[in-house]
Structure 1
Amino acid sequence: MSRGDEGRDTYREFTEAVNMKPVELSKWLETDESKQVGWHKGGRSGGGESVGHESGRKIINLLRRKRAELSEGDYRHMRKVVGYVRRHMAQRPSGDVRDTKWRWSLMNWGHDPLKR
């Protein structure tokens, strides 16, 4: 597979996994729910931003850029997002997920499982 094919596949998978618009994701990242979920590099007591929250900010940046402007590092992050969304979706809890940390965590990564 050529480099272009791989990039095209990654871009397509990323845009399928991320179903939130940049403005929508940006507003979500401002909420208390968004800030209370996820793994923190320094542990919970280490404070700071969770990995997913940081990823959400990167996703907004990626969505706002033209494909021609994307770097290899950008594509690496896109693949990370796709992997996270796929793994997390496979762990969907039963019942109403509207107000769950499972959903909130996915939303930090740009995917709202309640959207069709």
Structure 2
Amino acid sequence: MTDALELDALWEEFHHAVNMTSQELAARLRVSDAAEETEPLPDQAGSPTWQHVLAILQKRRTDLTDDDIRTMYEVVDTVTEQRDEENEPAADDTRRRHHLMALGHDPLKPPQ
């Protein structure tokens, strides 16, 4: 189990790495999974990791499970590895941008 200080730091890192709101991520999941004539149910859109990130965004810090914490570490590590502050994906670099957006990080979204 993670101690309180480490969890606080992880919470901050996760919410810095995941710069999309839960509403933005949910909409992105539905769009990415939508077929020409169908749209998935909200709770069935996206991969299990996408759904888990969305679920974490909708939780309070005190409600996190060990599985949530593992996913948060994975997301922070992956976004950190794939982001390049000086060379963020451009709008035409859709594959890389969409991969990061699957984790809740939109590289084209201005910092807040």
| Normalised TM-score (structure 2) | 0.75
Q: How far is 1:73 from its partner?
A: 1.7
1:80 correspondence with 2:37: no
Number of aligned residue pairs: 98
Question: 2:101 corresponds to which letter in structure 1?
Answer: M
The 5 Å alignment of 1:3-22 reads 3-22=3-22
8 A contact 1:92–1:102 mirrored in 2: no
8 A contact 1:53–1:109 mirrored in 2: no
1:61 is aligned to 55
Greater relative contact order: 1 or 2 (C-alpha under 8 angstroms, separation 6 or more)? 1
Q: How far is 1:98 from its partner?
A: 4.1
What is the rounded CA distance, in whole Å, between the counterparts of 2:104 and 2:51 in structure 1? Answer: 9
Q: Pick closer, same or farther for the CA change 1:108–1:92 going to 2, 3 Å.
A: farther
Q: How far is 1:88 from its partner?
A: 1.0
What is the rounded CA distance, in whole Å, between the counterparts of 2:72 and 2:12 in structure 1? Answer: 10
What is the rounded CA distance, in whole Å, between the counterparts of 2:86 and 2:25 in structure 1? Answer: 21
Q: Write out per-residue CA displacement over residues 67-109 of structure 1, whole angstroms, 9 at most, x where no aligned residue.
A: 1111122111101000010111139868733451000000000
Alignment gaps of 5+ in structure 2: 35-45
1:113 is aligned to 107
**RMSD across aligned positions (CA):** 2.6
What is the rounded CA distance, in whole Å, between the counterparts of 1:15 and 1:79 in structure 2? Answer: 11
Question: 1:22 corresponds to which letter in structure 2?
Answer: S
1:27 is aligned to 27
What is the rounded CA distance, in whole Å, between the counterparts of 2:106 and 2:88 in structure 1? Answer: 16
